[in-house]
Structure 1
């Protein structure tokens, strides 16, 4: 398909025939090569670009010589993820995947705690269960650096144009996005999308009905009722739970700044630093609970949001820190867990401690509420 015929060319991931050109652009990008050198070479070498760059390029040519397709890229990413999981987690566990049809495309809607790790770990679970990996929705705010754009689109990411501000421009972008998601699913490609724009920095996981209204834009064009159209999408809620919240202090700083000054403006490159921190810091045990496709009649975006939230809250795996921060004194918490969690909290700046503890406590309290309140009140 030529670019003129491809109505999604500006937002879709790369196809197999675009992989080689993308890798060539990465190889010629000094900024990318310098980042690889920084994290893979001794400091005395990485600090000298005229030595480091040829070394890195030579290594990458060897490594990427046989990478010619999107599947090859996914296999390379899987090797990297395997190392990352061994280095930064105690274990990663999954539930619910065995109840999904490996031949069916799903729209996975998950809570959002880490910019890149959330969809990466969803993909890891699918990969481990011999299922196709997902196409990943990412905001264009992450694509300010050319090599990040290349890496994301190589790794099956498609672009959500958050920067569109004028109403007509926004509607056009959202309509294209809605249509792309539908066509991907009908073509047998699963999709991952976060339940709302931005990470849950306060531990409060809640689906934004506006996201679900965006999905329906294409359904409206097809003159389908909301409930009927949503059933076609095979929406599967996913609940991701980290023993140690990624970027907890950075999230708390942002919340604290908003409390003190009313707003928080991210500095250039802050999202990239969050991605690196999420990758590199210890996460303890991570659990991903895959829910069941939503078949019940949800006739509005609000009803569907409540149904997704109920599954995410209900299946959220509580770690010792969630129980401790939530004030639970039951025998489910042992002394070593308490000591480890308290050591982590002790390292948090004093003014941020209440915010970090609230982050961990929120899932515990919402899970307790789910048994006594209707979904509408969550």
Structure 2
């Protein structure tokens, strides 16, 4: 049975040693690691550091024969990276999940690598099996990235296919794999609520993704299929987005020229900045799995949106941005930042927000404000029971 998923599935335990050996002799992979560990010395002494790093990693990962052991080892590095780049990670709602049950975690999407990493972090530290992660093939340009991600329970979503029939077949396979993973393998899945990051801060569920879950079980009613997948909406909130300036620039270019073309290597830069850049505090909220019966994707998308936007954690910076947003809704009862937060917390946020505004070219600023203000509008619309 598993043969049909070979093109997209994560590596299994038997494949781990060979893939690890391949990774640890890949010059491009060792180059990235060297830059990450020794940013100041990588250029001048990279030739010297690379073989040392390779030797150390071969020694450290010598006994690794399965994915679970690998994740235990990698978790140390993930925790270290998180500690360096955040002011702490909190999570809520994870206690409602049972370890013998598989879930479909559907999350808002702000950062390419860190969104699933933070969900993994919360699930791992709660003592539950980590989910398999959906990742677009547009991010797997280099063979080592593909190897690295598939070792860490990632499966591939083929996005760069252009033909309509090929696209349909790819979605069909993806649908079958997700259903098989949850119902047959008992393995949870993480997938973003829409293709591509919500660069304007407006988190919305794409109905096409919900339709895809049902595609491989077309003969069954939609609502029942969704119920069988334990779909749990997840809100990931970053106090600060390391890529906010780049997103503001892209939104400005789109608004003024009508299009935006990514420069070569732009995704790699976003990934690097997203991992190592300062994020302030991070909060992950897990909502209860959807149990109601939804007749169609539109109704279900609206329900998921309310859950994700309602569970989003607003930080002082969001209120500060909302207060200076030209499109703020005067009918919404949004309090001022100083009515919600203490003086010390607020002063720290004001200084950081000011720094970000000053670093942003003036014409891009409205798009920086938009990213932080939008979640406030969305959450207060949910609270007021207004349509989104």
Q: Identify whether the pair has TM-score above 0.5, normalized to the shorter chain.
A: yes
Q: Is the 8 A contact 1:45 1:51 kept in 2?
A: no
How many angstroms apart in 2 are the aligned matches of 1:307 and 1:50?
54
- Size of the aligned set, in residue pairs, is 371
1:70–1:48 Cα change, 3 Å = same
SS in 1 for 2:217: helix
Counterpart mapping for 1:313-328 below 5 A:
313-327=309-323, 328=335
Are residue 131 (structure 1) and residue 137 (structure 2) matched? Answer: no
Q: 1-side partners of 2:199 and 2:376: how far apart?
A: 16
Residues 34 and 46 in structure 1, CA contact (< 8 A), matched pair in contact too: no
Alpha-carbon distance in structure 1 between the residues aligned to 2:93 and 2:155: 26
Deviations 1:82-139 (A, max 9, x none): 1011111111000111122222100000000100100000000001100010100000
Q: Is the 8 A contact 1:113 1:246 kept in 2?
A: no
Give the secondary-structure state (helix, strand or coil) at the position aligned to 1:219: coil
Match of 1:287 in 2: 283
Q: Give the unaligned 5+ runs of structure 2.
A: 324-334
**Superposition pairs for residues 1-378 of structure 1, below 5 Å?**
6-41=3-38, 43-44=40-41, 46-48=43-45, 50-186=47-183, 187-220=185-218, 223-327=219-323, 328-329=335-336, 330-333=338-341, 334=343, 335-336=346-347, 337-374=349-386, 377-378=387-388
Stretch deviating more after TM superposition (31-40 or 141-150): 31-40
Displacement of 1:245 in angstroms is 1.8
Contact 2:132–2:187 (8 Å) recurs in 1: yes
> SS of the counterpart of 1:104?
coil
The residue aligned with 2:332 is none
Distance 2:216 2:225 in 1: 9
Structure 1: runs of 5+ lacking an equivalent: none
- Provide the C-alpha distance between the structure 1 equivalents of 2:177 and 2:144, rounded to a whole number of angstroms: 24
- Give a deviation string over 1:14-70, Cα, whole Å, max 9, x none: 001111111111122111112222222474565345433321221111121122210
Separation (CA, whole Å) in 2 of partners of 1:36 and 1:371: 45
Instruction: Check whether the contact 1:114–1:246 (CA below 8 A) recurs between aligned residues.
Output: no
Deviation at 1:193, TM superposition (A): 0.3
Residue 45 and residue 305 in structure 1: after superposition, are their counterparts in 2 closer, same or farther (change >3 A)?
A: closer
Q: Displacement, 1:344?
A: 2.6
